[in-house]
Chain A
């Protein structure tokens, strides 16, 4: 199914097709890897919205990449509840393992590391979302194995 067809299908679930913009942007990001110019134009075209509007909406939300991102993401919660336990140490372990600062992507374009706000897993700190799936009770020592897993090792 083409992206356009997928978007149109999703749009039918809502009384107004504009409501489908979030699912549409998600689908486009999955296909293009990030919300490039083309991706935004395609979403706009499918929903009869301007690309500027699509970009405006996308840029409001944290989960949309308006710049190229890695094929994988590692997102470490650094809000207070995880912070009180070991979040900074976990983040630093990933920084060390990946060789990037938070917000950056590894040179091979594979992995983007981010610090994120509360992921809603506060009873099992630190929460790390690996490709948007939660790993619970992550310790600094877990970092190398997680990275290796993503690298296909």
Chain B
């Protein structure tokens, strides 16, 4: 129990733990001290904007409250009880407004703007400035996704501090000094990286704004629908800004344990895939000798029934891992109970092994040793986890990239994270955790709801799949599955194929029946994230075609299966089986991390995989980059973030082959080869190269790289 100290703020007495910041101390007394530059997530306070000036008894000058901490006996007077402080805050606002353009009528921030709000409450009603304001070319795109208006900028430095101390990309910086200071990137280079969009939420004025939202709406015309992002297994809590039924913007909803208020750019800017040109809005049926034609839903359901029956129980369902738990369960119930067919192609291995090591992501920041294992950077697989690891390092943690067993055993609060292939659904890292006495471990899945769909599939029936030689019907659920070469290969062998997809480009051409898919933003339901946290999705926009549960329930009825078309009902049925009867309405707005009903204390497991025998050449690691996939490919503002055709290798390996960074090289394996640009990576172990899966062609295993 920390010491409490007594502080008086505007004659109200509060007791707070010693060392509490004064802004929070005042809040504890129910008093707001206005701020601009103060944001605890950005590191120690800087006291730059001077908005939070207060009078402290015993100190002759006004003080920036954000820079001070509570001390016993402190007496604070805010603008409410101190004319001097009120005048100081009025002065700050007057100075800010001296150069601030009168853009409110055309500025997207209007109505949600702290500068407007604080000026109204604490600032002057008139201007005394009669000279020329500082003008700039505006707005300028600092990236296709973000525009910068330097006239509106109040130089609070929140954005540059984010770039320097949170995302640590060091790309968004201040240039010049004094009144000539501007925010900029290097030369004309766009601000790129997984986290850039967060500056648009941090910016307290309309200086950094998303281009997607430019002139798209006013705060009184919109609704913010609380939901969860479905782009990666972190499941950041978001608000989908909706206007007239369309999603216009994604904002963070700040779950302190999951995302701390940050979102990655894929989750933030990727929503425009909902409006892709090639969005499938009607079912499409292959008509022999006529190609593909849209058909009515009645016809589509009939055809689906026909295909299912014709398969004689030899149905294989390929899941994407982006289905909601309810959708996966619905599909499972239909196929497993309705057709007694039990074969599924799961997108990844899933294991309950990590259930014994559950911890919230925020616990990473408190660790003293963090081991990040595996060969794929966290920024590609679960970006927000990368931010947590950086936070840990800033708090003094040692971040290891190898399994230093002694360091882990000696640590007081160690955390293991597996990012990369070979995780075996968490089994690998769970075994390490058990052996080394670590209580918090994470394994990064490759799909947003891999665990959820696997459990939902398993819950539908206890029967084992029968090994069938032939595939009567392949049901491809979701775009990621439709995009998977392994699934396509199986489709060639199947007698018939149904594809549930959002995009024409993916599904039409090889399916017998295409049923329109929906996005996570268009569904009600639940997801299980990489922590094992069950989270609630809410429908932000009505999809252009019926939700999957709607037609699944119709289809199920044809096979005598009762399946409700509502996520809440489906969840209720499933919850009794695997979530301990948790009611749908109690999943939670900021869902807690619940233990699983039966968390195995110890996991029987096959032995750890042998370290790969060294061979000739270099070990190839393929990975799915963050800015890849069918959704991202359809987002104009993210095209500049698509991964360049590169092969990453260590400096040592490059030097040994006479390869300079940036040179074009040939990467070959067993007769196939690919030309790529070489990039020197600092985070690879020697003897390993890394290529984005979409650029790797047929390369696999061990490769050689030549200039």
Contacts and interface: CB of A to CB of B under 8 A. Distances in A.
A19 interface: no
A49 B186 contact: no
Q: Which one of B169, B170, B177 has the highest number of Cβ atoms from chain A below 10 Å of its Cβ?
A: B170
A55 interface: yes
B187 interface: yes
Q: What 3 pairs across the A-B complex have the smallest Cβ distances?
A: A56-B173, A50-B170, A52-B186
B143 to A, nearest CB: 13
B186 A59 contact: no
Contact of A55 (B164, B169, B175, B177): B175
Which interface residue of B173, B177, B187 has the most chain A CB atoms within 10 A? B173
Contacts of B172: 52
Interface in B148-197: 164, 169-177, 184-187, 189
Contacts, number: 30
Nearest to A60: B177
B186 A51 contact: yes
B158 to A, nearest CB: 16
A65 to B, nearest CB: 13
Nearest to A41: B186
B173 A55 contact: yes
Contacts of A59: 175-177
B186 A55 contact: yes
A50 B191 CA distance: 13
Contacts of B164: 53
Nearest to B682: A48
A67 B90 CA distance: 39
B185 A52 contact: yes
A63 to B, nearest CB: 13
Nearest to A58: B175
Contacts of B185: 52
Contacts of B187: 37
B169 A50 contact: yes
Contact of A50 (B174, B177, B186): B186
Contacts of A53: 164, 170, 173
A40, A49, A56 — most chain B CB neighbours (10 Å): A56
A37 B184 CA distance: 15
A50 B184 CA distance: 13
Contacts of B174: 56
Interface of B: 164, 169-177, 184-187, 189
Interface string A30-51: 0000000100100000000111
B556 to A, nearest CB: 55
A46 B185 CA distance: 20
Contacts of B186: 40, 50-52, 55
A40 B186 CA distance: 10
Interface of A: 37, 40, 49-53, 55-56, 59-60
Main secondary structure of the interface of B (DSSP, over half): loop
A14 B62 CA distance: 37
Nearest to A48: B682
Nearest to B168: A50
B170 A49 contact: yes
A52 B170 contact: yes
A49 B189 CA distance: 16
A40 B185 CA distance: 13
Nearest to A62: B177
A37 B187 CA distance: 8
A21 to B, nearest CB: 13
B80 to A, nearest CB: 38
Contacts of B176: 59-60
Contacts of B177: 59-60
B131 to A, nearest CB: 22
B169 A56 contact: no
A55 B187 CA distance: 9
9 contacts: A50-B170, A50-B171, A52-B185, A52-B186, A52-B189, A55-B173, A55-B186, A56-B174, A59-B175
Given A37-B187, A49-B170, 4 more contacts: A50-B169, A52-B186, A53-B164, A60-B177
A147 B666 CA distance: 56
A60 B177 CA distance: 5
Contacts of A50: 169-171, 186
Contacts of A51: 186
A55 B175 CA distance: 7
Nearest to A53: B170
A78 to B, nearest CB: 18
Nearest to B174: A56
Contacts of B169: 50
Contacts of B171: 50, 52
A66 to B, nearest CB: 8
A61 to B, nearest CB: 8
Nearest to B187: A37
Contacts of A56: 173-175
A59 B176 CA distance: 5
A148 B219 CA distance: 66
A29 to B, nearest CB: 17
Nearest to A51: B186
Nearest to A66: B175
A52 B164 CA distance: 11
A7 to B, nearest CB: 17
Contacts of A49: 170
Contacts of A40: 186
Nearest to A54: B186
Contacts of B175: 55-56, 59
A55 B184 CA distance: 10
Contacts of A52: 170-173, 184-186, 189
B195 to A, nearest CB: 15
Nearest to A52: B186
Nearest to A37: B187
A40 B170 CA distance: 14
B660 to A, nearest CB: 12
A53 B183 CA distance: 12
A56 B187 CA distance: 11
Nearest to B185: A52
